[in-house]
Amino acid sequence: MQDTIRKAELGDIPRIQELCAEIWDGGDYIPHVVSDWIRDPEGDFCVVEVMDDGPDEHTGLGVPNGRPARASHIATLGKLTILNGQDGWLEGLRGNTEYKGQGYAQKLTSYFIEKARARNLRSLRLATYYGNSESIHILHKYGFRE
């Protein structure tokens, strides 16, 4: 599978809403702010887009789960917001359960850290649910402290 980190676009909204519908029993706030985040000049709202492999060369059939060949999906999304020109705030980090454990969340986290460094931000912060051990593990790996 090929993957690309890119800025979220208005055309992504239905897929973002679908991904977020599984979070907090459908109570995720992101579907309510997604349009604003895409248009926000002070932030980078990005997705990791995954392009599924094409049809099997031996059978000619598409990929599992009934998806068409070469379909793209959002594996992970998140936003880096710049506060007061000096500090970064990571928010809305979400992962598609179909791509769990494949490193896309780490890839996006690393991307945002590099963006923060390139902007010479004084700090990079975030909040996460204390029971989200997977996210906390990734964040500790990158040097975040509690």
Domain containing 103 — which CATH number? 3.40.630.30
Q: Which residue has the tokens 């790996």?
A: 141
- What SS3 class is residue 136? helix
Report pLDDT for 52: 78
Do residues 105 and 112 make contact, with C-beta atoms less than 8 angstroms apart?
Answer: no
How many structural domains does the chain have?
A: 1
Of 91, 98, 92, 104, nearest to 28 by C-alpha is: 92
Does residue 65 surpass a pLDDT of 90? no
User: Residue 118: what pLDDT?
Assistant: 95
For residues 88-113, average pLDDT: 93
3-state secondary structure at position 126: strand
* 146 within some domain: no
Residue 73 belongs to domain spanning? 2-141
Percent of the chain residues past pLDDT 90, beyond the cut: 60
Domain presence at residue 92: yes
> 30 in a domain, yes or no?
yes
Residue 103 inside a domain? The answer is: yes
| Helix, coil or strand: residue 61 | coil
- Which of the residue ranges 1-5, 64-68, 133-137 would you say has the lowest mean pLDDT? 64-68
